[in-house]
Chain A
Amino acid sequence: MTTTSLPANPVPHPVPQPAPHALRPKTSASDAPHGPTGRMPAPAPRGPVSEALLGALRAGGPDDALLAPVTGALAQAGLEGPEAVEAVLSEDVQLALLVMYELHYRGVDGVDDAWEWHPGLLALRARVERPFEASLRARVPQPACEATDAAGVAERLFALAAQDDGPSLSRYVAKKADAEQARELLALKSVYQLKEADPHTWAIPRLSGAPKAALVEIQADEYGGGQAGRMHAELFARAMRGVGLEDCYGRYVDAVPAVSLVAVNTMSLLGLHRRLRGAIVGHLAAFEMTSSIPSRLYGNGFRRLGHDEGTTWYFDEHVEADAVHEQIAGRDLAGRLAEEEPGLRDDVLWGAAVCLAVEGDVAAWVLERWQRGASALRVPLAGA
């Protein structure tokens, strides 16, 4: 077995780690159980909460009795007191949250789909979501805004995105990243990008009128305008294959650090709660507004490293698509929603600020590691 270089486990009682998936040979997408339509492979636990959760979910159909160890592990996880806003960001708890949310997307290998709406499990998820939302609120202050009309709110959103002074991962990739770092980037992004657009789609039935039409207009384009091969998630899978990665859904979850799981879980949190629909709309607007120019830089980096058009297509597509999407998202989606439901305006702006903050945290994490010659992943990618 290949030796791994896992970072020190942040939980007080490390649990035995099964061989991480990132190092386990897998078959190709075409004949593997985890093809593009497949479930997320069950990840390796990162501590007592995720270990108890995966153990319970994989032990049988929904049953309160199976959840007792999860309840016990959560009680010990520090999610109640003042330290909760930190504790909820641990590798262990974020992985557990990712698994619970995944039941609403593609499902998890070996887990009965009936768990999705099991009240006992939902109650446990809420015990994690409360401190998680509190930690986001502590991390990201509410942006101020004078405007109440669509154009004014759109202008404020563009200004927030323009002021974002987070470190530029795309500039580093354009100029400096080596081949292995380019692969790490795609592995890191794959947890979200292989389900690109899905968390924001939750908002569609929660909106009406112009904002709904605008969101559908954006999402239809994200999903390839009716052509499966043009779906952005598919283009991303193609880029992964182009750099020699496996494109199976959830394939690299074990390699991805908590900071990146936080970014994905944030989208699920905002997307799955109707009361936070303003925030998921703002999140999408900020995501689109910080995409076209970085996508060009990412594409340049992959071209510099000698990758072909099929591999850079994903980034090239986003240059053009997101220049369209950012206008629709700013004006017709976020702006109009704030205008039509004034009570949501602050949530829209906060959601945008959350996006910039958590995505910025991922970029800072990656750059800090790359700049000192370390891997940005928990488990370096096996092979060349």
Chain B
Amino acid sequence: MTDERTPQVTVTACPDGPLLVRGPATILDADGRPVPRRRATVALCRCGGTAVPPWCDGTHKVNGYRSGPEPQDGSLS
């Protein structure tokens, strides 16, 4: 059972948009080095179009990115 009092990491798949990461997750770059996080909640680009990787910069709204249907098992909110 998870301890409710310990902050959990959650990743929210935003429809047609980024992955929203909350909680104490360490984001690593391709060489395994931590990417400095400048805010408590971050958005990871998943459309591939951002100019500030790995973060989302809103480009998904203008490049036609579609995330496709969500799984039906309720694992993503």
Interfacial residues, chain A to chain B (CB-CB below 8 A): 151, 155, 158, 162, 217, 220-221, 225, 292-293, 296, 319-324, 326-328, 331
| CB nearest neighbor in A for B60 | A323
Indicate if B48 sits at the interface (CB-CB under 8 A): no
Which of A221, A296, A319, A331 is B14 in contact with, Cβ under 8 Å? A331
Closest A-B pairs by Cβ, 3 of them: A292-B58, A323-B56, A324-B43
Q: How far is the CB of B35 from chain A (nearest CB, A)?
A: 12
Known interface pairs A162-B61, A296-B58; 9 further A-B residue pairs with C-beta atoms within 8 A, sorted by A's residue number: A217-B40, A220-B40, A319-B57, A320-B38, A323-B18, A323-B58, A327-B12, A327-B18, A327-B20
Total interface residues in chain B, CB < 8 Å? 22
B39 in complex: contacting residue of A155, A162, A225, CB < 8 Å: A225
Interface of A is mostly: helix
How far, in whole Å, are A221 and B43 apart by their CA atoms in the complex? 13
Q: Which residues of B contact A221 (CB under 8 A)?
A: 39-41
Bound-state CA distance A170–B17 (Å) is 22
User: Is B14 a contact of A327 with CB atoms below 8 Å?
Assistant: yes
Between-chain CB contacts (< 8 Å), 20 pairs: A158-B16, A162-B61, A225-B39, A292-B57, A293-B58, A293-B59, A319-B52, A319-B57, A319-B58, A320-B38, A320-B56, A322-B58, A323-B43, A323-B57, A323-B58, A324-B56, A326-B58, A327-B17, A327-B18, A327-B43
Find out whether the CB atom of A324 lies under 8 angstroms from the CB atom of B15: no
Q: How far is the CA of A19 from the CA of B43 in the complex (A)?
A: 48
Residues of chain A with a CB closer than 8 A to B42's CB: 324
Residue of A217, A296, A327, A331 near B51 (CB, 8 A) is A296
Contact of B41 among A296, A322, A328 (CB under 8 A): A328
Contact partners of B39 in chain A: CB under 8 A: 221, 225, 320-321, 324
Give complex CA distance A322, B58 in Å.
8
Question: Main SS of the interface on chain B?
Answer: loop
Rounded to whole Å, the gap between the CB of B20 and the closest CB of chain A is: 5
Are A320 and B41 within 8 A (Cβ)?
no
Residue of B nearest to A158 (CB): B61
With a cutoff of 8 Å between Cβ atoms, the chain A residues found around residue B43 in the complex are 323-324, 327
Chain B, residue nearest A217 (CB): B41
How many whole Å from B30's CB to the nearest CB in chain A? Answer: 20
B17-51 CB mask vs A (1 if < 8 Å, else 0) is: 11010000000000000000011111100000001
Interchain CA distance A328-B18 in the complex, whole Å: 11
Cβ-closest chain B residue relative to A161: B61
**Chain A residues within 8 Å of B14, by CB:** 327, 331
Residues from chain B with a CB closer than 8 A to the CB of A320 are: 38-39, 52, 55-57
Q: How far is the CB of A216 from chain B (nearest CB, A)?
A: 11
Q: Say yes or no for B9: interface residue by CB 8 A criterion.
A: no
B1 at the interface (CB under 8 A from A): no
Chain A residues contacting B59 (CB-CB under 8 Å) are 293
